[in-house]
Amino acid sequence: MRCIIGLAVVAATMAVPAAAQRPGDAIAGLWMNPYNSVAVRAGDCGSKLCGWVAWANAEAKSDAREEGVDPLIGVALLQDYQPSNASNWSGTIFVPDMDRHFSSTITLLDRDRLKVKGCLIGGFICKSQVWRRIEHLPDA
């Protein structure tokens, strides 16, 4: 009987770390687009993954403002992503300088690189970018 109880305790303690890790944990953090114009802070939004503009350069702010998106800081670019598997998520991306939403996928290439892809017309026309992880926001 003690052996069964001991195994149950070991199994329960092993399950805790796995349960504590949420699907978006690998993507949580700060990411910079390839143009170094926008930084996004990714993290949980309920049971899904989202990402908000944490920093933008003057040109990105101006482009967004021309489309009626002002202020740009705090806008949710990555919306309602759900995991497809361990390294892929599906959701919606908002493009402020177009004031449009597109279906999107995120692929974790490695710990420090994400491929963000947005598509329209049922996935026939797509554009992707590789974002890189950053440790802190650029100076204003």
Which tens digits make up the pLDDT trace of 27-57?
999 999 999 999 999 999 999 999 999 999 9
pLDDT at position 8: 31
- More confident of the two residues 12 and 36: 36
The model's confidence at residue 22, banded by pLDDT at 50, 70 and 90, is low
Look at residues 137, 22, 28, 133 and name the one whose alpha carbon lies nearest to residue 78: 28
- Whether pLDDT at 12 is above 60: no
Look at residues 109, 46, 120 and name the one whose alpha carbon lies nearest to residue 82: 46
> CATH code for 23-134?
2.40.128.520
pLDDT digits (tens, 9 = 90+) for 100-120: 999 999 999 999 999 999 998
pLDDT at position 9: 32
List beta partners, residue 126. Answer: 119
- Whether pLDDT at 88 is above 60: yes
Please count the residues of the chain: 140
Report residue 52 as tokens.
């908000």
- Whether pLDDT at 65 is above 60: yes
**What are the sequence ranges of the domains in the chain?**
23-134
